[in-house]
């Protein structure tokens, strides 16, 4: 039986998740082809490199690359998942938190740091320990825990001296503990949630770092927050990362092309089928 729809899976590599998505596609009347995100050369109004595809499933690890590809693909008339608007919103931690907070979705207390003067104000406003993280970035990279005031400025020296231009834009926030919750969202549905705990000597609990995880039982508070995120970004495929606080969960960040191996392993959720079904329904 031939495929009803052709989908380009746009990424720089085929990892575990991409392989399973390609394998699951035929059961939902789809043919998913890997298209290297470094070879699209978009910009032509007919976009020859994506001509013949009914949609693009954008899984570029780079937010910047994914957002640009989605923007130009949509301009050429090819729908993308996620949308360019959603990817660009996820790319910028400070802007995303402003959008969510305005919509009533809880986010951590934080300060935008664009200079050492900003950093001084953040140190004065927020209690130690603090986390310093780049506004643009993911996978736990360049996220630093500041435990003591006397080392804070030495840490910030690296931001000033090693980062380039927009990479110096940072967020400072209180350290909220050693665990986080990754929610895997498909469409508007929460298909699986797992709690991650830092392991070994690494304090970070990012899912990409392979730390300890366990399935999280259904939590109405978590579902309400996820619904709020989808209301802001629109239906799509997201990894919504939460921290627990005494007042409830808060949204740390949202990933536009989430890895889901750890959540699938912890929960048993068939995430490739959920994504295949959502693509099928979206293209019907």
pLDDT tens-place string over residues 57-78: 999 988 899 999 999 999 999 9
pLDDT of residue 166: 75
pLDDT of residue 49: 95
Domain-embedded: residue 180: yes
Do 47 and 34 reside in the same domain of the chain?
yes
C-alpha separations of 230 from 62, 180, 223, 263 in Å? 21, 19, 11, 19
pLDDT of residue 216: 87
Domain-embedded: residue 7: yes
Higher pLDDT, 139 or 245: 245
Domain-embedded: residue 49: yes
HEC per residue, 16-76: HHHHHHHHHHHHHCEEEEEEECCCCCCCCCCCHHHCCCCEEEECCCCHHHHHHHHHHHHHC
Domain-embedded: residue 217: yes
Confidence of residue 177 (pLDDT cuts 50, 70, 90): confident
Averaged over 157-182, what is the pLDDT?
A: 86
Compute the distance between CA of residue 252 and CA of residue 245 in angstroms, rounded to an integer: 12
The strands making up 170-174's β-sheet, listed across from edge to edge, are 111-113, 170-174, 130-134, 144-146
Do 184 and 114 reside in the same domain of the chain?
no
**81-126 tens-digit pLDDT:** 999 999 999 999 999 999 999 999 999 999 999 999 999 999 999 9
Task: Please report where in the chains the tokens 């068939």 appear, as a residue.
Answer: 270
pLDDT of residue 256: 94
Do 168 and 181 reside in the same domain of the chain?
no
Compute the distance between CA of residue 238 and CA of residue 86 in angstroms, rounded to an integer: 10
Averaged over 205-211, what is the pLDDT?
A: 55
Inter-residue contact 212 to 196 (CB < 8 Å) = yes
Do 56 and 125 reside in the same domain of the chain?
no
pLDDT of residue 206: 56
To the nearest whole percent, how much of the chain has pLDDT over 90? 80
Three-state SS at 14: coil
pLDDT of residue 213: 80
Compute the distance between CA of residue 238 and CA of residue 191 in angstroms, rounded to an integer: 11
Averaged over 7-29, what is the pLDDT?
A: 97
Do 168 and 180 reside in the same domain of the chain?
no
Averaged over 178-189, what is the pLDDT?
A: 93
Do 181 and 164 reside in the same domain of the chain?
no
pLDDT of residue 187: 98
- CATH number of the domain enclosing 132: 3.30.1490.20
Query: What is the pTM assigned to this prediction?
Result: 0.92
Q: Which residues contact 238 (CB under 8 A, 6 or more apart)?
A: 82, 86, 90, 183, 184, 185, 229, 230, 254, 255, 256, 258
Q: What is the DSSP letter of 284?
A: -
Virtual CA dihedral for 162, 163, 164, 168, nearest 10 degrees? -140
Do 147 and 197 reside in the same domain of the chain?
no
- CATH number of the domain enclosing 183: 3.30.470.20
Q: Residue 276 pLDDT more than 50? A: yes
Do 114 and 82 reside in the same domain of the chain?
no
To the nearest whole percent, how much of the chain has pLDDT over 70? 93
Compute the distance between CA of residue 282 and CA of residue 56 in angstroms, rounded to an integer: 12
Domain count, the chain: 3
pLDDT of residue 199: 59
Q: Residue 185 pLDDT more than 90? A: yes
pLDDT of residue 48: 94
Do 166 and 187 reside in the same domain of the chain?
no
Residue that is last in its domain, among 154, 172, 190: 172
Domain-embedded: residue 160: yes
Do 193 and 249 reside in the same domain of the chain?
yes
Q: Residue 204 pLDDT more than 50? A: yes
Domain-embedded: residue 98: no
Do 138 and 182 reside in the same domain of the chain?
no
Q: What is the DSSP letter of 205?
A: -
- CATH number of the domain enclosing 69: 3.40.50.20
Domain-embedded: residue 103: no
Compute the distance between CA of residue 37 and CA of residue 40 in angstroms, rounded to an integer: 6
Q: Residue 210 pLDDT more than 60? A: no
pLDDT of residue 1: 45
User: Could you list the residue range(s) of the whole structural domain that residue 134 is in?
Assistant: 109-172
Residue 214 token pair: 């366990």
Residue that is last in its domain, among 149, 172, 195: 172
Dihedrals phi, psi of 190, to nearest 5 degrees: -85, 105
Domain-embedded: residue 96: no
Q: Residue 2 pLDDT more than 70? A: no
Do 166 and 203 reside in the same domain of the chain?
no
């Amino acid at each position: 039986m031939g495929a009803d729809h052709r989908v380009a899976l746009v990424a720089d590599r085929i990892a575990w998740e991409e392989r399973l998505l390609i394998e699951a596609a035929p059961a939902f009347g789809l043919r998913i082809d890997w298209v290297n995100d470094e070879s699209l050369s978009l910009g032509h109004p007919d976009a020859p490199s994506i001509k013949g595809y009914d949609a693009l499933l954008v899984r570029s690890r780079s937010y910047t690359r994914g957002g640009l590809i989605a923007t130009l693909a949509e301009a050429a008339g090819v729908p993308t998942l996620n949308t360019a608007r959603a990817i660009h919103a996820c790319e910028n931690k400070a802007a995303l938190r402003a959008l969510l907070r305005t919509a009533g979705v809880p986010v951590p207390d934080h300060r935008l740091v664009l200079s050492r003067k900003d950093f001084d104000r953040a140190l004065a406003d927020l209690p130690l320990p603090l986390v310093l993280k780049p506004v643009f970035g993911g996978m736990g990279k360049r996220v630093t825990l500041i435990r003591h005031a006397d080392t804070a400025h030495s840490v910030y020296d690296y931001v000033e001296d090693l980062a380039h231009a927009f990479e110096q834009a940072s967020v400072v926030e209180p350290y909220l503990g050693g665990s986080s919750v990754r929610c895997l969202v498909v469409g508007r549905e929460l298909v699986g949630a797992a709690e991650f705990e830092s392991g070994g000597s690494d304090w970070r609990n990012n899912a990409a770092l392979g730390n300890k995880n366990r399935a999280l039982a259904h939590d109405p508070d978590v579902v309400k927050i996820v619904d709020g995120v989808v209301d802001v970004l629109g239906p799509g495929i997201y990894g919504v990362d939460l921290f627990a606080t005494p007042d409830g969960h808060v949204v740390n960040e949202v990933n536009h092309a989430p890895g889901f191996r750890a959540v699938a392993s912890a929960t048993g959720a068939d995430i490739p089928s959920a994504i295949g079904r959502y693509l099928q329904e979206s293209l019907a």
